[in-house]
Amino acid sequence: MKLLFSMPFWLFLLVHPLCAEDRGMENLDSLQWKNRILIVRAPVAGSDAEKTLRAAATEISERHLVWFLITAEGMTSNYTGAIAGGFREMLLQRYFTDGATNVVLIGKDGGVKAREASLDLEAIFKRIDSMPMRQEEMRRQ
């Protein structure tokens, strides 16, 4: 008899997560230990930064790099999932507190590895390739 009364409760617990609306990624926590992150702030959409990032898709993929390009108009990314509405503002507030930083590299461990004034993708690739975790990835390949 107890089982009968508790059944609606258990049914609710099983179905509730399926009904919850996916608001998208709200912070970078879900990428930690899976991806390195590159956040670039550029003056306008369609800038050289976006062309540079898109042209290096193979190298970016090899390094498990997810990038976010923030402009005055909005944000673009190679991230394929949903992104929450306040995500762009969170990145700006957390990583771009000064006027000099326009590029932030975050390692798989979630730590900031570099802050730069401009995007130099080759230098970023060299920095990533020198990291112990990346060295291990290259040995395994």
**29-55: per-residue pLDDT in tens?**
999 999 999 999 997 776 799 999 999
Helix (H, G, I), strand (E, B) or coil at 28: coil
| pLDDT greater than 50 at residue 137 | yes
**122-136: per-residue pLDDT in tens?**
999 999 999 999 999
CATH code reported for the domain at 24-140: 3.40.30.10
Measured CA distances, 8 to 3, 18, 21, 83, 116 (Å): 9, 16, 21, 33, 55
Domain ranges of the chain: 24-140
Confidence at 79, pLDDT banded by 50, 70, 90:
very high
Mean pLDDT of 52-69: 97
